């Protein structure tokens, strides 16, 4: 405005560092919240796959509910067939424990159980259960955007671009990471043309 003195409204080095640290903490908190939400969803859908739960006959009602939830989500699975397969699987595991008493079956993970089923060629008699285990083991919990950023930085800032400014690097990283956004290039070109024409 007329009569006012110009002043520098930028942040000091300490303020800028504090702002960047708080931004990083916010991003970390958001990623942790996102991952825990996805982990809870996964647990609700596949909790019955734990070997202790499968072998416990007192949890049959819980297993039945879980199987119905999972089969509603994945159409290639059949709830009735899976319930009979779990009974069959229990008999196989009990026989295996009797023959191999030194094996710690209770400590098996889902991957150990799947490997055991393939080793003893049980995948044909337990098809629905094998498919469920394979789905569970191939689901990713989250794609961490911070990890994507670091991998993109290596591609953007190469030896040929070593003198790039921090602002340009940040802008290129954002463009590279968020490239899935739909941008109307015609409107961008029109805005750019209007800005340039005013300066002339």
Q: Where is average pLDDT lowest: 26-30, 88-92, 147-151, 168-172?
A: 147-151
CA-CA distances (angstroms) from residue 104 to 6, 51, 64? 75, 11, 26
Q: What are phi and psi of 56, to 5 degrees?
A: -85, 110
Band the pLDDT of 4: cuts 50, 70, 90.
low
Q: Where is average pLDDT lowest: 32-41, 62-71, 157-166?
A: 157-166
* pLDDT value at 165 more than 90: no
Q: Where is average pLDDT lowest: 73-77, 150-154, 168-172, 182-186?
A: 150-154
Which pLDDT does position 86 carry in this prediction?
93
* pLDDT value at 168 more than 60: yes
Which pLDDT does position 93 carry in this prediction?
93
* pLDDT value at 84 more than 70: yes
Q: Is there a contact between 149 and 177 (Cβ–Cβ < 8 Å)?
A: yes
* pLDDT value at 171 more than 60: yes
**Greater model confidence, 10 or 141:** 10
Band the pLDDT of 68: cuts 50, 70, 90.
very high
Span 86-109, mean pLDDT?
Answer: 91
* pLDDT value at 83 more than 70: yes
Query: Which residues, including other chains, have CB under 8 Å from residue 98's CB and lie 6 or more apart?
Result: none
- Considering 34-38, 52-56, 185-189, the range whose residues carry the highest mean pLDDT is 52-56
* Per-residue model confidence as pLDDT tens digits over 104-138: 898 999 999 999 999 999 999 999 999 999 999 88
Cβ atoms within 10 Å of 100's Cβ, excluding its own: 10
* pLDDT value at 63 more than 90: yes
Which pLDDT does position 108 carry in this prediction?
92
**Greater model confidence, 19 or 199:** 19
CA-CA distances (angstroms) from residue 196 to 33, 46, 117, 162, 200? 44, 58, 68, 30, 7
């Amino acid at each position: 405005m007329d009569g006012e003195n110009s002043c520098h409204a930028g942040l000091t080095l300490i303020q800028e560092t504090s702002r960047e640290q708080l931004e990083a903490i916010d991003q970390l908190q958001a990623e942790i919240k996102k991952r825990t939400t996805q982990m809870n969803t996964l647990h609700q859908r596949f909790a019955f796959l734990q070997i202790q739960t499968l072998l416990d006959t007192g949890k049959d009602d819980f297993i039945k509910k879980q199987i119905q939830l999972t089969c509603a989500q994945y159409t290639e699975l059949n709830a009735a067939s899976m319930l009979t397969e779990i009974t069959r699987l229990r008999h196989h595991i009990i026989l295996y424990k009797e023959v191999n008493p030194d094996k710690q079956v209770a400590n098996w993970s889902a991957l150990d159980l799947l490997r055991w089923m393939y080793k003893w060629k049980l995948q044909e008699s337990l098809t629905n259960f094998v498919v469920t285990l394979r789905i569970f083991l191939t689901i990713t919990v989250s794609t961490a955007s911070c990890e994507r950023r670091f991998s993109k930085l290596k591609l953007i800032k190469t030896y040929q671009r070593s003198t790039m400014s921090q602002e340009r690097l940040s802008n290129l990283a954002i463009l590279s990471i968020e490239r899935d956004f739909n941008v109307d290039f015609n409107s961008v070109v029109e805005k750019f043309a209007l800005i340039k024409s005013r300066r002339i």
